[in-house]
């Protein structure tokens, strides 16, 4: 157990980050200022565009570079419209203006888009460039699927996506000669070295020099006489100290959900505590029986581990927003948001997962299911926060499936989320958990349905009977995403789908072609 003895650690009021190859030191900035606003209004970097203001279109995409736990440089896309500027503390911020190469030519990503005629009005192009740049810096040779995934959060309303994807395929084609210098990939294409003015070796030194070892505290007096604070602890002791000092602070993890509220309504957030740098809240521990995930671990970091053991859960995570969202969104934040259609909560409850919550030096464990007790209400006491989430590893004979029903496949909030887990013994249902999101004011198990399934043979008749009992478990409402009747019908159909996917070969469930007959 960590030592949480309160102490007065050194405190800093200035954020430090790298921009344009230089360290920027900004004392006591407006804590509600977004990265996008700083870039356009103060940094004179107008290549980054503003459109939706909610992280849904990708026009504002920029790249953050930092050092991972192994000291390796990593590049991650984020939506600059969502996040307060203090979140870039200790990192390097790269925009489309930084892609000028050392020889003054276009970066290979930009050149590929030009050659494929992949830009028309150009408004979305800087965001697309930065998404492909982050993929380029990974040093991989991605296939079409990986390219499409990297561009998931970038909307283009002019050209369509064919020339954009063609440009990326050309850029990453396997027979194109490349060299890797450090972590810097360089395509040896005519007219461009691909090497940035601020290369990896320089960036590492700059990042090492601004690595934060103690808390950040920014204060700003408002016109109403209030004091807005932005606090950044780096360990549990500092976080515990802050929670005991301030009343009703807003805890900000990734900021992909409440980030817009912080930036658009700063008067409602007197004290913001950003927990994304608390080292004890990050990372994963794998044991013989479970996976324990720190609450501030991002969905991008969580994905490969969860997908290895629960592929259906992994598929759900891939449909959680865009890469720019998943790069900062955290598993703890998604649960704490108490959404009635939470992607992660639905799956975690079906898997009978638990969570550790803490206040000061006191920790307790509860089920993820017990966390929420009503619409936007949870069981956390004042000063208490989610520390970690643990989900069990699959047992022999267990089955798990998860589904997300949306109007569009990617970057959309579910109308219905469902997750089912079961243990079969001699083709009889030994244990089962059926969980739905979007069917009630909070994510909830279908207990009548579960009782009808338990002990019964795994047959279509069993599923049909249990599905009818969903009407006793839920009274779904109608909203802009779906009608109540649609929700109930789809909830029943998802049970049927679960059965057929577990008993029939995958190819028999896939639509290969459509045929229309005329009379």
C-alpha distances in Å from residue 335, one per residue of 184, 241, 405: 37, 24, 19
What stretch(es) of the chain map to CATH 3.10.20.30? 11-96+208-279
Superfamily of domain 11-96+208-279: Beta-grasp domain (3.10.20.30)
Per-residue model confidence (pLDDT) at position 224: 64
Residue 6, pLDDT > 90, answer no
Name which of 400, 255, 249, 378 is nearest 326 in CA terms. Answer: 255
Rounded to 5 degrees, φ, ψ at 133 are: -65, -45
In this prediction, residue 389 has a pLDDT band, given cuts at 50, 70 and 90, of very high
Tens-digit pLDDT profile for residues 41-84: 999 999 999 998 888 899 999 999 999 878 889 999 999 999 99
Task: Please give the CATH topology (third level) of the domain spanning 101-195.
Answer: DNA polymerase; domain 1 (1.10.150)
Instruction: Give the pLDDT of residue 177.
Output: 38
pLDDT (mean) for 242-251 = 88
Band the pLDDT of 152: cuts 50, 70, 90. very high
Residue 26 has pLDDT above 90, yes or no: yes
Q: Is the pLDDT of residue 194 over 60?
A: no
pLDDT at 169: 94
Please report how many Cα atoms fall inside a 13 Å half-sphere around the Cα of residue 498, on the Cβ side.
29
> What CATH homologous superfamily does 282-503 map to?
CO dehydrogenase flavoprotein, C-terminal domain (3.30.390.50)
pLDDT of 2 over the 70 cut: no
Q: How confident is the model at residue 229 (pLDDT cuts 50, 70, 90)?
A: confident
Q: Is 253 exposed, middle or buried (0-12, 13-18, 19+ CB in 10 A)?
A: buried
Q: What is the pLDDT of residue 376?
A: 83
> Is residue 427 predicted with pLDDT exceeding 50?
yes
Tell me what the mean pLDDT of segment 196-222 comes to.
83
Q: How many CA atoms lie within 13 A of 288 on its CB side?
A: 0
As separate numbers, helices (DSSP H) first and strands (DSSP E) second, the chain gives: 18, 23
| Across 214-221, average pLDDT | 82
Whether 183 shows a pLDDT value over 50: the answer reads no
Distance CA 4, CA 151 (A): 42
- Res 178: pLDDT: 42
More confident: 3 or 342:
342
Alpha-carbon distance 164 to 160, whole Å? 8
**For 336, which DSSP code?**
H
Instruction: Identify the pLDDT of residue 518.
Output: 55
* Residues whose CB is less than 8 angstroms from the CB of residue 89 and which lie 6 or more positions away in sequence, other chains included: 15, 16, 17, 212, 216, 232, 277
pLDDT of residue 290: 97
User: Which of 322, 333, 343 minimizes the C-alpha distance to 443?
Assistant: 343
Q: Average the pLDDT over each of 30-34, 455-459, 511-515 and give the range with the smallest value.
A: 511-515
High-pLDDT (> 70) share of the chain, %: 88
Instruction: Kindly report, residue by residue over 249-270, the tens digit of the pLDDT.
Output: 889 898 777 766 665 665 555 7
Note the pTM of the prediction, 2 decimals.
0.89
What is the SS3 assignment for 261?
A: helix
- pLDDT value for 278: 94
pLDDT confidence band for 180 (50 / 70 / 90): very low
Each residue of 428-453: pLDDT tens digit? 999 999 999 999 999 999 999 999 99
**For residue range 309-331, what is the model confidence (pLDDT) as tens digits?**
999 999 999 999 899 999 999 99
The CATH 1.10.150.120 domain(s) of the chain lie at 101-195
The model's pLDDT over 102-145, given as tens digits with 9 standing for 90+, comes to 777 899 999 999 999 998 889 999 999 999 999 999 888 899 99
Distance, in Å, from the CA atom of 440 to the CA atom of 369, rounded to the nearest integer, reads 14
In the chain, CATH 3.30.390.50 sits at: 282-503
Model pLDDT, residue 265: 60
Can you give the pLDDT at residue 273?
Answer: 92
Which residues touch 210 (CB under 8 Å, ≥6 apart)? Answer: 16, 17, 18, 23, 90
Q: What is the mean pLDDT of the chain?
A: 87
Neighbours of 284 (CB within 10 A): 17
Average pLDDT over residues 375-381: 90
């Amino acid at each position: 157990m960590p030592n949480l003895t309160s102490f007065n650690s050194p405190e800093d009021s200035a954020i430090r980050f790298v921009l344009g190859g230089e360290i920027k030191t900004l004392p006591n900035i407006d804590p509600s200022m977004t990265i996008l606003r700083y870039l356009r209004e103060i940094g004179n970097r107008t290549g980054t565009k503003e459109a939706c203001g909610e992280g849904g279109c990708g026009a504002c995409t920029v790249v953050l570079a930092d050092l991972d736990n192994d000291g390796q440089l990593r590049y991650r896309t984020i939506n600059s419209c969502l996040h307060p500027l203090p979140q870039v503390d200790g990192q390097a911020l790269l925009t489309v203006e930084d892609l000028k190469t050392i020889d003054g030519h276009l970066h290979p990503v930009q050149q590929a888009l030009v050659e494929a005629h992949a830009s028309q009005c150009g408004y979305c192009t800087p965001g697309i460039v930065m998404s492909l740049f982050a993929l380029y810096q990974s040093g991989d040779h991605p296939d079409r699927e990986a390219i499409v995934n990297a561009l998931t959060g970038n909307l283009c309303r002019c050209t369509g996506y064919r020339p954009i994807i063609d440009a990326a395929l050309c850029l990453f084609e396997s027979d194109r000669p490349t060299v890797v210098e450090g972590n810097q990939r360089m395509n040896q294409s005519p007219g461009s070295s691909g090497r940035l003015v601020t290369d990896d070796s320089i960036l590492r030194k700059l990042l090492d020099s601004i690595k934060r070892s103690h808390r950040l505290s920014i204060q700003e007096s408002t016109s109403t006489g209030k004091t807005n604070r932005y606090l950044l602890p780096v360990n549990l002791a500092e976080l515990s100290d802050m929670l005991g000092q301030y009343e009703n602070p807003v805890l900000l993890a990734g900021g992909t959900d409440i980030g817009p509220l912080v930036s658009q309504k700063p008067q409602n957030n007197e004290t913001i505590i950003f927990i994304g740098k608390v080292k004890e809240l990050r990372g994963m521990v794998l044991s013989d029986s479970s996976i324990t995930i720190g609450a501030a671990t991002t969905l991008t970091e969580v994905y490969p581990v969860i997908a290895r053991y629960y592929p259906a859960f992994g598929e759900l995570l891939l449909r959680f927003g865009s890469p720019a969202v998943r790069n900062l969104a955290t598993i703890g934040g998604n649960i704490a948001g108490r959404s009635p259609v939470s992607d992660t909560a639905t799956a975690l409850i079906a898997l009978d997962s638990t969570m550790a919550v803490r206040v000061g030096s006191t920790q307790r464990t509860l089920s993820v299911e017990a966390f929420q007790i009503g619409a936007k209400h949870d069981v956390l006491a004042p000063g208490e926060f989610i520390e970690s989430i643990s989900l069990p590893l699959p047992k022999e004979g267990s089955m798990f499936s998860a589904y997300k029903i949306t109007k569009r496949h990617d970057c959309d909030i579910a109308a219905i989320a469902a997750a089912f887990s079961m243990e079969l013994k001699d083709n009889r249902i030994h244990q089962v958990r059926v969980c739905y999101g979007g069917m009630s004011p909070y994510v909830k198990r279908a207990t009548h349905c579960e009782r009808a399934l338990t002990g019964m043979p795994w047959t279509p008749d069993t599923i049909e009977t249990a599905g009818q009992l969903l009407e006793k478990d839920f009274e779904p409402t109608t909203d802009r995403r779906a009608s109540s009747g649609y929700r109930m019908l789809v909830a029943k159909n998802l049970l049927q789908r679960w059965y057929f996917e577990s008993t029939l070969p995958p190819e028999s469930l896939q639509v290969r072609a459509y045929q229309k007959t005329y009379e």
